[in-house]
Structure 1
Amino acid sequence: MSAPWVVVGLGNPGPRYAGNRHNVGAMVVDELARRTGSTLKSHKARAVAAQARLGPLPGEPVVLAVPSSYMNESGGPVSALLKFFGAGPDRLVVAHDELDIEAGVVRLKRGGGEGGHNGLRSISQSLGTRDYYRVRVGIGRPPGRMDPADFVLRDFSAAERKELPFLLDDAADAVEALVRDGLLEAQQRFHSPR
């Protein structure tokens, strides 16, 4: 029996950060939990997690999780989750916000750099590898000279909030496609112009 996929959504804990752009990865996992009728519950790996199945029946076994730590300490919980569920980095999918992708666009990749993303950096350090899957949710660049750190820790604007359900839907579809059909097929679907 192969290990389940571990799908982690990155964000910061608590209501103060809940609507931030930086928490869009956690929002994607919330959407997947909603779709699968799962409830994320406290897990000893310093995360909230649920076991579910993604895709058409019988579905792929997955663990949906959001670290309970702050973003820059995501590596410990992610590493502990993989260990607990007997999964390697090759079964890890991390959903996260991406400044270098236009707002509203979803991209998938495996490996590569962290692009200054502290959550990804922490995960790569904890796992000793960058070779895991990422579902990159575009939030665009900050306006004018705004510091990117300030931008990601702000809530989505009113206009962005109108589009957010569609973005979360796309990102959740991308996770499902990746788990079900593999990276190349998922990339062909989400990277081609629509």
Structure 2
Amino acid sequence: MADLRLIVGLGNPGPEHARTRHNAGFWFVDALAERLGARFNVDAKLFGSTCKVDIAGKPVWLLKPATFMNLSGKSVAAALRFWKIDPDQALLVHDELDLPPGTARLKFDGGHGGQNGLRDTMRLLGHGGFHRLRIGIGHPGHKDKVTPWVLGRPSGDDETMILRAIDAAIDVLPLATHGDYNEAMKRLHTAKP
């Protein structure tokens, strides 16, 4: 598989959204940038904030779209074009209702599963041929409760579990950066929360 060159955290901009479940993608890229001593800067031409990091000797761009979740594809497509990155060299990180807090899963291709950031990206790219990192946020139990759930803050225990899953996913990034997604998946998917 292709080496990883771009990691996109999906979320909504603004302090009112900062600690919501829906911003798990932002939590991830923020934690990664902090671990690597990098800082995000606004990049208007890419409709978001970016920074460049080194992961296991490979340069990787980080992107946080400023377009709100439902329009994330605009920022993702602009970044892929500008940096001449193929979609299969990108990892989109997002919240996942169907996984419990404390769980993170890597996957390649597939549908959007109702995740609007993925939906918009797939609409603009014309396919889903990119990598995803799904950060479990749990499900409220009924579909009518989904919107307030994803836009709400997790409990202290759930937040701790989500942050542990993020740390475990960051730990396997050197493998993905060098194109060894199978080993990265194996290690992440067998990690204990």
**Same fold by TM (over 0.5)?**
yes
**In structure 1, what is the equivalent of residue 185 of structure 2?**
187
How far residue 183 of structure 1 moved from its aligned partner, in angstroms, is: 1.3
Aligned-partner SS, 1:130: coil
Structure 2 length normalisation: TM-score? 0.91
Aligned-partner SS, 2:178: helix
Match 2:94 to one of 89, 93, 96: 96
Q: Does the Cα contact within 8 Å between 1:21 and 1:154 map onto a contact in 2?
A: yes
How far residue 66 of structure 1 moved from its aligned partner, in angstroms, is: 0.4
How many residues end up aligned between the 2 structures?
A: 190
- Distance in 2 between the 1:162 and 1:7 partners? 22
**In structure 2, what is the equivalent of residue 108 of structure 1?**
106
- Distance in 2 between the 1:185 and 1:28 partners? 20
**In structure 2, what is the equivalent of residue 60 of structure 1?**
58
How far residue 173 of structure 1 moved from its aligned partner, in angstroms, is: 2.3
How far residue 20 of structure 1 moved from its aligned partner, in angstroms, is: 0.3
- Distance in 1 between the 2:176 and 2:140 partners? 29
**In structure 2, what is the equivalent of residue 13 of structure 1?**
13
**In structure 1, what is the equivalent of residue 117 of structure 2?**
119
Unaligned 5+ runs, structure 2: none
The Cα offsets for residues 18-37 of structure 1, whole Å up to 9 and x where unpaired, read as: 01000011110001111221
**CA-atom RMSD in angstroms:** 1.8
**In structure 1, what is the equivalent of residue 47 of structure 2?**
46
Alignment of 1:128-147 (within 5 A): 128-143=126-141, 147=145
Q: Does the Cα contact within 8 Å between 2:4 and 2:179 map onto a contact in 1?
A: no
- Distance in 2 between the 1:84 and 1:132 partners? 17
**In structure 2, what is the equivalent of residue 34 of structure 1?**
34
Alignment of 1:61-76 (within 5 A): 61-76=59-74
Structure 1 length normalisation: TM-score? 0.91
Aligned-partner SS, 2:46: coil
Instruction: Compare 176-185 and 118-127 and name the one that shifted more.
Output: 176-185
- Distance in 2 between the 1:114 and 1:157 partners? 26
How far residue 126 of structure 1 moved from its aligned partner, in angstroms, is: 1.1
Match 2:160 to one of 162, 167, 171: 162
Instruction: Compare 99-108 and 73-82 and name the one that shifted more.
Output: 99-108
Alignment of 1:67-86 (within 5 A): 67-86=65-84
- Distance in 1 between the 2:134 and 2:23 partners? 12
